[in-house]
Structure 1
Amino acid sequence: MAIVVDKLEALPPKGDDFCLDVRKDVVNIVNLKNVLSRLRILPNSTGSTARCAAVQFKDSKQQVALKMFKQCDEETGHRFMEEARIAVKVSDHPNVITTSLPLYRSEKEGFIMVIELANGGDLWDYVFQSKPKPEYELRGLSRQMVDGLSHVHGCGYAHMDVKLENFVVFVNADNSKTLKLIDFGLAYGLGRWQDRVEMDCSGAAYYAPERFPLQPPLYSPQEAYFCVQTSFDVWGLGICLVVMFTLQYPWDRADITKDIRYAKFQEWASHFRYGDASRESAPEIFQCFSDAWLDIFVSIFDEIEETRLTMAQLRSAIDRPDSIYD
């Protein structure tokens, strides 16, 4: 049963000039510290810096989720405020989670933001913990994923952490499903430069190769960075689609020096692009797809960012009537 908390203020208007200041826009909520230990912690929601819990408005009985950042130090505060700023700015879309203002701070739980509470868990659970889904349903879910990410891109950001766990499921009254994109903790402005870093986390299987450090020697200081583009999210969404349609991950990380399955795929793809390889010679996980969709996946998983499939092209491919499977 969700714990009742005091009524929260209404969401203020949002615009391009929307700005958060940790000193002005965070409300100290003293009474919350006495009930937080009794809140229901949501499944798969406890990370290294934050956890989520379900609560309920006292007056309307509306249930929401609190995302709680464990520390109240200045560095955590700035990270929290940046995530909140982006999350609120991109909220105005049916396939993106709604994040509300004001923000809160508790002596026990640190910084807190208020978000929609999904009633169907995350997409990973939905895909793996129930019966296999028909192609038409997976196509419908895929469209919503593309639409949510395209909206974020239109707001000037890349999500940078696209994975099944970062889409949540809302089960509607007619039993249809609405997907919403969550977690903007790694979101970054398009066109900005970001460090290539060694990744050892649950999301590494979804990351494009430009995220990982290049093997030495580096020939210029710029090679230690990559420019954030929408193509990074296209790659992560491609991994999501492969997993949704096959219930398998194609590789552990997109690094030909450290992952033999990835190296074999890129070797096959380099021949398939020019008609020198067939579906029958593809890595086994890809052999269930039609030739048309093999073309799509080869383009999604292009190591050259500039020639990678675009989100608009992917949306068009999903809308085509021909089957994804062979």
Structure 2
Amino acid sequence: MEPYPKTSSSEEDIFTDHYLILKTLGQGSFAEVKLALHRHTAVPVAVKFLEKDEDNAFEVMSEVGIVKALDHPNIIKLFHVIKTRKQSYLVMEHADGGDLADYLEKVGRLQAEEARPIFTQMACAVEYCHENGIVHRDIKVENIPLDDKEHFKQCDFGLAVKVTAGQKFKGSNRPA
């Protein structure tokens, strides 16, 4: 690993000058998430790669704005956004304990006393989002990773929208 980022002439190398990509963590309909290592600090991070084009420009900007506005212990933290002409890279906290789906597969059915703290953590994250006018719209076990302190966190705000009280939607991410 290099102690300092190398100088690069290519705009697309802006990301790789600072981060070493280790592996793919997940692939969704709209983005890919990779595990990377910050070259200077050796801190592992999750990086969401968002392709930018005319069709998804609103959604990319909306997700970046929403994630930047969130600061809660049960929501994955956004550290940095790198934008190029072709892509946006969302550099986020890496929760290395897998997701809730993996956890449930490993431990099996949970008793109420085991499920209660997980549910409480997610309810607190959802309440925080709603208090800040954000609706996630994609809460599922695959979007609830576990960190090294055994805290479950909400992630993937790709379908999230900013709303005001009483606002209605018409089948897209854009408010009516």
* TM-score category of the 2 structures, normalised to the smaller one: 0.7 to 0.9
1:64 pairs with one of 37, 41, 45? 45
Tell me which of the two structures has the higher relative contact order, counting C-alpha pairs closer than 8 angstroms and 6 or more residues apart: 2
TM superposition shift of 1:79: 1.4
1:193 pairs with one of 158, 168, 171? 168
Separation of aligned partners in 1, 2:125 and 2:62: 20
CA contact (8 A) 1:5 1:55 kept: no
Summarize the alignment of residues 63-142 of structure 1 with structure 2, pairs less than 5 Å apart: 63-69=44-50, 71-90=51-70, 92-105=71-84, 110-142=87-119
Summarize the alignment of residues 1-326 of structure 1 with structure 2, pairs less than 5 Å apart: 6=5, 28-32=11-15, 39-42=22-25, 45-69=26-50, 71-90=51-70, 92-105=71-84, 110-172=87-149, 177-188=150-161, 189-190=163-164, 191-196=166-171
Separation of aligned partners in 2, 1:128 and 1:165: 12
TM superposition shift of 1:3: 10
Q: Superposition RMSD on alpha carbons, in Å?
A: 3.1
Separation of aligned partners in 1, 2:107 and 2:100: 11
Greater fraction helix: 1
Greater fraction strand: 2
Separation of aligned partners in 1, 2:52 and 2:89: 10
Separation of aligned partners in 2, 1:102 and 1:134: 40
- In structure 1, list runs of 5 or more residues that go unmatched: 8-27, 198-225, 228-326
| Structure 2 length-normalised TM | 0.81
Q: Deviations over 1:230-263 (max 9, x none)?
A: xxxxxxxxxxxxxxxxxxxxxxxxxxxxxxxxxx
- Higher gyration radius (CA): 1
Q: What letter is aligned with 2:59?
A: R
CA contact (8 A) 1:3 1:39 kept: no
Q: What letter is aligned with 1:79?
A: E
SS of structure 1 residue aligned to 2:59: helix
Separation of aligned partners in 2, 1:179 and 1:121: 10
Name the count of aligned residue pairs: 168
SS of structure 1 residue aligned to 2:146: strand
TM superposition shift of 1:30: 2.1
CA contact (8 A) 1:6 1:57 kept: no
Separation of aligned partners in 1, 2:20 and 2:56: 21
CA contact (8 A) 1:4 1:55 kept: no
CA contact (8 A) 1:95 1:147 kept: yes
